[in-house]
Amino acid sequence: MIIVDDVRQTDRRRKPAMLLLPKCLYEAHYKSITIHYKRHTERMRLIIFSLSYTFLIWGIFSSLTPTYASAEINVWPKPTSLSWPHPQAALLSPGFYISSPNHPYLSPAVNRYLLQILTEHYQPVVEPSVNLSASAPPLQTLAIIVADLSAPLHHGVNESYSLFIPSDGDTANLTAETVWGAMRGLETFSQLVWGNPSRVPVGLYLWDSPLFPHRGIMLDTSRNYYPVKDLLRTIGAMSANKLNVFHWHITDSHSFPLVLPSMPELAAKGSYGPTMQYSPADVAAIVRFGLEHGVRVLPEIDSPGHTGSWAEAYPDIVTCANMFWWPAGSEWADRLASEPGTGHLNPLNPKTYEVVKNVISDIVTLFPEPFYHAGADEIIPGCWKADPAIQSFLSDNGTLSQLLEIFVNSTFPYIVSLNRTVVYWEDILLDDNVKVDASFLPPEQTILQTWNNGPNNTKLIVSAGYRAIVSSSEFYYLDCGHGDFIGNDSQYNQPPTSGDSGNGSWCGPFKTWQAIYNYDITYGLSQEETKLVLGGEVALWSEQADPTVLDARIWPRASAMAETLWSGNRDESGMKRYAEAMDRLNEWRYRMVSRGIRAEPLQPLWCIKNPGMCNTVNPFV
């Protein structure tokens, strides 16, 4: 099959060109699909292959008609390819329904979207300038065709889909290789419906697929606790933004909120209390909710650092637990932690590995996700040096890096033996003081998540042959810019002429949606290195966040990353499209709010109602 390249941003993917063909040919093709809808899966694959080939033929004609009409409709993230050559709409039938194959996760999604489509009646802030077609009948059905109903929700699963809404028929068609692609298409269709009575664009052709397979949000539930309902709402909003990985940083030095069947004392003594724990039943509900929304739940149990909360149940395996984090009169280099909340697991204590392996075993049982995030960031020398046995080890010419290698060599093979790929924070290989030799981390079984030094550390990771998840704090840390939580902090007592150094936030200033949107996570990489970048995650650490601010801290800034990782941040000519993204993101933010997500505002309402009037036409830099 001939393939046409999309060279908009990278050559990470190849896709069919835009769908433009005489309408009769297009609709005849889809009628054929509908007729064969319930036949054997292998036949569905042939139909989808045929459809992709037809898309290619349509591409020959695509230069004759603009891909976007002046009466643009709003879908976030922006689809890869969308054509609406003759803008018009039809009413949605009051009896509208969705036909789809039966599937344990797709079927609940279909029911959820059907209810939303029939009851949402979203009224855009700026009404689409499109008239109802005089000839189009009310849309009666959305028919979903899935080629492979068995593909699991794992990294790299096919999420592509195509959507056709005819101008003279009552059935729209959504075709996907997997149920996860069908879920992405359902979200797109739901965003295409607006008004009361409900309208839907007709004569619309769409093909869509993500640039990056890993598109996530990391949430820290140790420093402050989030009830299950908040996690579910976040996962639901992620699905609406076509994000697919909920990276759950469950434990840290501050609390251990997860109840583990084999080690219940960790939560009983290490959590903030019985009302601030996640039971195995809670985890099962969260994982299933994720599957029904096409979102993987990736657990992180950070170790050997950030483990002070383990000491409440197992004090013998934790060094420097419950000690003051930066002793008076000591240098910063001699601190016991980088923030209040001390404690590292002791690599020299055999009991450590009994506990750790039980924890790992329980996590693998609770979470079906094939990735296991083992943390390994911010090993603070002073904490390990506070332990007498480690002091003796160091006096015998041992090193802190050797201590970390002992821990990794005792845990990494065990995680791998449980059929998991291990994810670590970048520190394990790149830290200035404590790191392991690369020989301990086979690239085939290791993924590194970067959070420092922007594209420079991403370059170091992929040039060493490792796959990378990008969470550069300079762009993707959503907690930054709110000051610091340390009390008695003298940096705030400075003369008013001393200048602003970030208002006490180590990673300030605040990361605006524009900074997030314009960040190219493969900047400076070769074509081969780019292939090792799996995607990215925005991160919300919770020193100064809890359920009262959760939605506003995440949304709509995470939406900005969602679009860049789905369809890029550049237009067809290769230019950054942040200018036109403002109005679209504004509209999407209002729709999220209408769906119960308390996303923070981006502009005064006046700006949205007067498109372009709040822009600048003069460069600031």
Q: Active-site positions?
A: 378
Contact 544, 485 (CB under 8 A): yes
CA distance 364 to 359: 9
CA distance 467 to 529: 9
Contact 364, 372 (CB under 8 A): yes
Contact 514, 575 (CB under 8 A): no
DSSP SS3 for 424: strand
CA distance 219 to 393: 36
Q: Angle at Cα 363 formed by Cα 359 and Cα 368, nearest 5°?
A: 160
The greatest distance separating any two alpha carbons of the chain, rounded to the nearest whole angstrom, comes to 87
Q: Which of 350, 284, 286 lies closest to 316 in space, CA to CA?
A: 350
CA distance 432 to 471: 19
Q: Which of 23, 337, 342 lies closest to 167 in space, CA to CA?
A: 23
What do you get for the CA distance between the two ends of the chain, in Å?
Answer: 47
Cβ atoms within 10 Å, residue 450: 29
DSSP SS3 for 572: coil
Tokens of 144: 């979903």
Where does 221-314 show beta strands of DSSP type E?
245-251, 296-303
Contact 68, 84 (CB under 8 A): yes
Alpha helices in 482-574 (DSSP H): 513-518, 527-530, 550-554, 557-566
Q: Which of 110, 117, 206, 208 lies closest to 164 in space, CA to CA?
A: 206
Contact 469, 450 (CB under 8 A): yes
Cβ atoms within 10 Å, residue 2: 7
Sign of the Cα torsion 206, 212, 214, 217 reads negative
Q: Which of 581, 592, 511 lies closest to 553 in space, CA to CA?
A: 511
Where do we find the tokens 């924070």?
A: 425
Q: Classify residue 281 by burial, with Cβ atoms within 10 Å: 0-12, 13-18, 19+.
A: exposed
